[in-house]
């Protein structure tokens, strides 16, 4: 092994690029979620789902063109694999947020936006333990090895 998983750099470089891509996707995700809740009054579980879709599209586009760009996989293969991982991510984020909010709903301080705080904690866990690992070793895994 040469330390490279796909062709776009070492594991450390890929992780840093993935985190930058994730940050951009998170801004899209949380922005859309907050907008849906506060401007349209959409139920937080559905707003989380809509935000996850926005963030997922952003993440896939950035990762394909920048983070893991030299994997040798075609757009169709990446899109199909990403969709499977993305569905898992959406379900984990949505369920995790709903479950987390139900756990803390009775004791959070007055005025605290518990949904976005729980969503942030869940997103961090899902981002590192599911998204990065699945994208690196499944979605964008170099072909031929």
Q: Per-residue pLDDT for 54 more than 90?
A: yes
Of the pLDDT bands very low, low, confident and very high (cuts 50, 70, 90), residue 129 is very high
Q: What is the mean pLDDT of residues 25-45?
A: 92
Q: Give the model's pLDDT for residue 65.
A: 86
CA distances, 128 to each of 34, 44, 94, 122, 139 (Å): 22, 23, 16, 10, 15
What DSSP state is assigned to residue 47? H
Q: Give the model's pLDDT for residue 109.
A: 56
59-104 pLDDT, tens digit each: 888 988 888 876 677 888 888 999 999 899 889 988 998 898 888 8
Q: Is 21 exposed, middle or buried (0-12, 13-18, 19+ CB in 10 A)?
A: buried
């Amino acid at each position: 092994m040469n330390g490279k998983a796909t062709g776009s750099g070492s594991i450390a470089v890929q992780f840093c690029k993935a985190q930058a891509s994730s940050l951009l996707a998170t801004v899209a995700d949380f922005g859309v979620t907050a907008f849906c809740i506060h401007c349209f009054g959409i139920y937080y579980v559905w707003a989380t789902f809509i935000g996850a879709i926005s963030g997922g599209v952003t993440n896939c586009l950035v990762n394909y063109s920048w983070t893991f760009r030299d994997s040798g996989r075609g757009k169709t293969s990446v899109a199909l694999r990403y969709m499977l991982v993305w569905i898992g991510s959406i379900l984990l984020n949505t369920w995790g947020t709903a479950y987390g909010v139900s756990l803390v709903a009775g004791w959070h301080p007055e005025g605290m936006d518990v949904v976005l705080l729980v969503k942030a904690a869940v997103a961090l866990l899902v981002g590192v333990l599911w998204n990065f690992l699945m994208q690196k070793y499944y979605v964008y895994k170099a072909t031929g090895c």
